[in-house]
Structure 1
Amino acid sequence: MKKRVLAMLLSMAMTATLLAGCGSSSDSTGDTTDGDGAKEYDVLRVAMMPFGGNVPAQYAYDQGYFEELGLNVEFYQFANGAGINEALAAKEVDVGVSGLAMIFSLASGTCKMIGESQVSSAMGVYVRPDSPILDHATEVDGTTIYGSADTVKGITVLGQTGTSSQYNLDGWLGMFGLTEADIEFVNVGLGTDMTAFLSGEGDAIAASRPYTFQLEAEGYVNAGNFEQTTDTVLTDVIVARNEVVEERREELVLFMQAYEKALEEISADEELRYNTSMDYFKNNGRDYSEEDMRNEMKVNDYITTAYMSGEDYVFGNAMVKIGQFYSDCGQIEPEALPNVAASFDASIIQEALGITFDVAG
C-alpha cells in the first residue's frame, strides 16, 4: 500500500446551492486478482482535513491496519469540508472523512453516510468583554446566550463558510429573528480570522477548537454556545460516493474495520491519543499547545462501539437536524432535503463491527 498526501492549501468556497452531481473524471472500479488468485484492491482515495476525526485514519495507516486487510489506501489532505465536497462531486476521491459540510454531498444524492467518527464540541460565537451584545442575556438549558436583535444587527463577524462555526452563527442569529443578511459575515481562513479578531478586526468571531480555548483564556466571552444555539449535538461523519458503496462495499467494510480498530485503541489510551493527535495536527499544519490538546480531548468523544451500542444513539440524527436547518435557510432545496435521510447507510459499519442500532429518518 502506498500513501500520497496532497496538500490543498487554499480553502474552496462552498456553493450556496447544492452540488449538481458527480463529474465525468475516471473512477476506480474495485478489485482484481493476482497470479496466485489473491484479491488485489484498487486504490481507495480518502479525502481528509486536519481535525480529530482523521486521527484514527492516520493511526490505522501508520500501524498498517489497512494493509493487513489488503486495502490500498491513499490520503488526500484538504483545508476544509467544502473542498472535500467538491472533490467527491468531481470523482477525485472515493471517501470523505469530515464534518458538517458533508451535509451538501448527502443532500445532493451522490453520496452515502457510512459512519460517524466523533462528537464535536467546544464551539461558539465570541465577542469582546466590553461588547454591548453582553448587555442582553438569556438562559437556555442552563447556559447564558448573549445578544438581542438591536445589539447584533449590523455587526461584523469573522469566520469560514461551509463549516460548523457558520452553522453555529446562523443558529445564534436565528434566536434574535436575524439571518446573515442582517450582519456582515467575512469569510476568513481558519487561524487568520483569529489573528484578525485579536488585532481588533470585527465585532465577533464564529470560532472552533482550539481557538475557543484561547479566546476564553484571553477573557473573550462566548455569546452563543453551539449546542444551545443549534439544538444539535454535532457528530463528524464518513461518507462515500454512491458508486463506491454499490461497487466496492467489501472494501468499505474493511476500511471501517481498520478505522474503528484504530479509534478504539486511541480512545482507550489517553497518552496515545494525545501523542498521535499532536503529531497528526503538526504534520498537517495545525500546531496545538499541550493545554489546547488536553482541552480538546476533554470535550470531544470518539464514537466507539460502546457509544453506538448505547440506547440513546441514533445514526445520522445530527445530519437530519442540520439538513432541515439549511433547507429552512434556503441553502438546500426543499426537494433535495429527503436525500439526507435516504443517504444513511448504516449497514456497512454494522457489518464491520457486528452490531445494530437505530438510524434516523
Structure 2
Amino acid sequence: MRACLLFVMCLFCSLVFAQDHYLLVGTYTTGKSKGVYVFRFNSQNGEVQWVSSTDSATNPSFLAVSPDKQKVYTVNETGGDQPGYVSAYEFDAATGQLYYINSQPTGGDHPCYVTVDATGKWVITGNYTGGNISVFPVAADGSLKHYVQKIQHTGSSANTSRQDKPHVHGTFFSPDHKYLLVPDLGTDKVMMYLFNPTAKQPLKPAAMPFAASTPGSGPRHLDFHPNQKFVYLLEELTGTIKAYRYTNGFLSGIQQIATHPKEFTGQAGSADIHVSPDGKFLYASNRGEENNLAIFSIDQNSGKLTAVGYQPIPGAGPRNFIIEPNGNFLLVANQRTNNIVTYRIDKKTGLLQQLLRQTEVPNPVCLKLIPVQ
C-alpha cells in the first residue's frame, strides 16, 4: 500500500513538473512584428513551438497577465502624434489564442510597463516619456475603463542626456499587494505608494514616499526575494544593483554591486532582473557592449549578493527575461537580433547551459508564461 501511495505521489510530482506553458512575447512593431506572439514551451526539454499571434497591434512592448490567467494586458508604446495607450485581450488557454477586447489612452507618452493587482480589478501603467503612472479599473468582462487616477512625477537628476525629467520605468506590487513600488529612471528614485483596492483612487503616497538611488544611476526594474525580506533594484545607467531590506513599505539599503566585472569600462545598459524561485540566485541582463547575464548568489541571512559569473548571450539587446516556475529554465529576449535564447539552470551553482535551438521572433521585448490547460 505504501509503495502504491509513493508511486502515485511520484507520478503526481512528475506531472506537475512536466506541465507545459504558453510563452507570450511582447514586441516592437517597427519591423516585421505583428504584435504579441504565443508559443508553447515544453517544461521538460525547453523546446519552444509557435502557436499564434495577434493580427496587428502597435508596439505591445510589455505584457501583464490577470490572476485568473484569462486576460492579457499590453502597453502600446507610442507617443507624440499617437499618444500611448493600453489594451486588453481575452486569452484562450485551451487554444493559445488572443482576442482583442478594447484599449484606453494612458495619459502619458510611451508606456513601457503594465501590471495587474491581485484582485484582477486594477491595471496600472508606467509611462516612460510622460513620467507618470495611470490607474485603470477593470470591468467584469476584463475590458478597461478610462483611468481614474494619474500621478505625475517631477524632478531630474545628474545625467543630463537621460535624466532631464521623470521617466517611469516600472510599476511593481509588493508581494502582499499593499504597496506599489515605481522605479523612476529620470529622478533616481523608487517612489512608494500605498495601494487600497477598494478606493475610487487606489494609490496614495506611502509613509516612506521614496527611496533614493545614487545620482546618475537610473532605477529601472526590481524584484522581490521569495522570503519577501529583500528587494533588488536594477539601475540601468550605471549597471548596478541596489539591494534593500524590505519591511511593510520601508526600504533600507544594504548593498550596491556592479552587474559587470571590475575590468569592464564600456557603456552600461542593464535591462531586467529576477530572483530564482528558490531564492538562491539572482540574474540581471546587460545590453550595451556586454550582451550577457550577470549571475549572483544570495546570502539568505543578509540578502547580500556575490558575483558567480557572466553568461554571454548569442544576440544583442537582451531585454526582458523570465525564469520558468520550477526554476529549471531561463529564457532571454534579444530585441536587436530577433531571437529568444533558452538556458537550462544548474540549481546548485546558478550557472546556465545554453540549449542549441533558438526561437526567432521580430523585436522581442517582454516574456510571460501561462500554464497550458
TM-score (norm 2): 0.21
**Larger helix share, 1 or 2:** 1
TM-score (norm 1): 0.22
**Larger strand share, 1 or 2:** 2
